[in-house]
Amino acid sequence: MNALSVDPRQVEAFAAHLEKSGRVQPFDFCSLGEGFIYPGRNQPGALDYFFFACAHQFGFWTLAGNRWAAPMVARLDGRALKGSDFLWRACTRAAQKDPLIFDPASLAARSNHSLSELFRDDSGANPLPLWPEHLALLRGYARWFADRATTPAEVVRRIHAAPKPLFALLALLAEIPGYAEDPLQKKAMLLAIALENRPEHFLHVADPGSAVPIIDYHLQRSALRTGLVRVDDPALRAKLEARVLLSAPEESRVRAATYAAIATLIARSGLSAAAVDWFFFQNRTRCPETTEPDCAACPVAPFCARETRLFQPVFRTTAY
């Protein structure tokens, strides 16, 4: 028996729903929170910003013993922000003060203390739960660009010379610290959809077939709860329900099954990876981690399996 399986009936129900709703669009990484969460349109330094910030979209939760404890939430500029929004805002704040700050050469010239200061919250602390991992990736990232005497802008110029720009971008990011560690390329594809859909349209995709699903922890939770992915192993189910640490093979099986389900959903619905990702990203607030899911307000309620006790893999990784 496999520990997990993709439920084809749920994939079909989702595909039909997404096709019918007509409201599933890619997010532009700007309009919700322009100038606060995300840089304003045409803000200088935005390309370097996205190259940097997408690589740091991981680990926004805390652990107590071997159990998931809470999402990371910190106050910044007077607002309580969950991890991902906190990171975007901290980077936007830094880029508003110094548009060149996320140029890899500028990052390389800064001390560890000054880099940590970029993420200072309103209490004066850096609240990122995995700061040492962020710092190590940041140093490797800056070194990669320095060793090749290149920049994100030059990378974008190069990949547009290729017949398949998205494929070329993903292939290049597979070498760059901050992106290279994840074989499923979650952060790399996140960067691709941000560059493509930002108002500046930094990336022109001639090869949408090169897109890959973006599998983070919110999406895995949604896939498990909705029944897109069924958990057939009682021992794994018990661990997912108890929110305790999974082993690397267990996490890998959950994530691989979710990847397969979303890849099939993208193919069946005809929607872009970006549109499907935005649908599930929005679902994180209807089907959250710390409060009961709001099924009454959920558009997939009519066919959802409502496995509300299931939780995303609890696993420390810099991939998501």
Residues found near ligand SF4 in the complex (CB under 6 A): 222, 225-226, 283, 286-287, 293-295, 298, 300-301, 304, 306, 308
Secondary structure (DSSP) of 175-235:
TSTTTTT-TT-HHHHHHHHHHHHSTT-----S-GGG------HHHHHHHHHHTSEEE--HH
Taking the complex as a whole, the smallest distance from the CB of residue 87 to ligand SF4 amounts, in Å, to 25
Of 158, 197, 180, 170, nearest in space to 319 by CA: 180
Alpha-carbon distance of 304 to 298, in angstroms, equals 9
Taking the complex as a whole, the smallest distance from the CB of residue 226 to ligand SF4 amounts, in Å, to 5
Taking the complex as a whole, the smallest distance from the CB of residue 301 to ligand SF4 amounts, in Å, to 4
- Which residue, 225 or 253, has its beta carbon nearer to ligand SF4? 225
Beta strands in 28-86 (DSSP E): 61-64, 67-71, 73-76, 79-82
- Which residue, 92 or 258, has its beta carbon nearer to ligand SF4? 258
- Which residue, 223 or 263, has its beta carbon nearer to ligand SF4? 223
Taking the complex as a whole, the smallest distance from the CB of residue 68 to ligand SF4 amounts, in Å, to 18
Taking the complex as a whole, the smallest distance from the CB of residue 6 to ligand SF4 amounts, in Å, to 17
- Which residue, 89 or 237, has its beta carbon nearer to ligand SF4? 237
- Which residue, 272 or 283, has its beta carbon nearer to ligand SF4? 283
Long-range contacts made by residues 8-16, C-beta under 8 angstroms, separation at least 24? 8/264, 10/226, 10/227, 10/228, 10/261, 10/303, 10/305, 11/228, 11/261, 11/264, 11/265, 11/268, 12/268, 13/300, 13/303, 14/226, 14/228, 14/265, 14/269, 14/300, 14/303, 15/265, 15/268, 15/269
- Which residue, 174 or 301, has its beta carbon nearer to ligand SF4? 301
Structural tokens at position 313: 């893999």
- Which residue, 3 or 295, has its beta carbon nearer to ligand SF4? 295
Taking the complex as a whole, the smallest distance from the CB of residue 7 to ligand SF4 amounts, in Å, to 13
Taking the complex as a whole, the smallest distance from the CB of residue 276 to ligand SF4 amounts, in Å, to 14
Residues ≥6 apart with Cβ < 8 Å to 94 = 101, 102, 118
The residue to which tokens 């349109």 are assigned = 41
Residues ≥6 apart with Cβ < 8 Å to 111 = none
